[in-house]
Amino acid sequence: MNTARPVVLTTIASTRSALADREGVVLVPTMGALHAGHVALVERAKQLGSPVVVSIFVNPLQFGASEDLDRYPRTLDADLDLLAGLGVDFVFAPTVDEMYPTGPSQTHVTAGGVGSLYEGRSRPGHFDGVLTVVAKLLGIVRPRHILFGQKDAQQVFLVRRMVTDLNFDVAVHTVETVREDSGLALSSRNRFLDAKEKRAALGLSRALDAAASSADQGIDAVVAAAQSALMGESLVKLDYLKVVDPDTFLPVDDHFRGPALAIIAASVGSTRLIDNETIYVS
Catalytic residue chosen out of the listed positions 38, 145, 173, 255:
38
Q: How many CB atoms lie within 10 A of CB 194?
A: 12
User: What's the order of all strands across the beta sheet hosting 271-281?
Assistant: 236-244, 258-268, 271-281
Closest by CA to 26, choosing from 65, 60, 52, is 52
Phi-psi region of 218 (alpha: psi -120 to 50; beta: other; left: phi over 0): left
Closest by CA to 201, choosing from 152, 269, 263, is 269
What burial letters (b/e) apply to 149-182, b meaning 16+ CB within 10 Å?
Answer: bbbbbbbbbbbebbbeeeebebebbbbebbeeee
38 as an active site residue: the answer is yes
Closest by CA to 90, choosing from 22, 15, 170, is 15
Which residues 6+ apart lie within 8 Å of 187 measured at CB?
A: 35, 37, 151, 273, 274
Report the DSSP beta bridge partners of residue 39: none
Closest by CA to 246, choosing from 128, 157, 137, is 157
Active site amino acids: 38
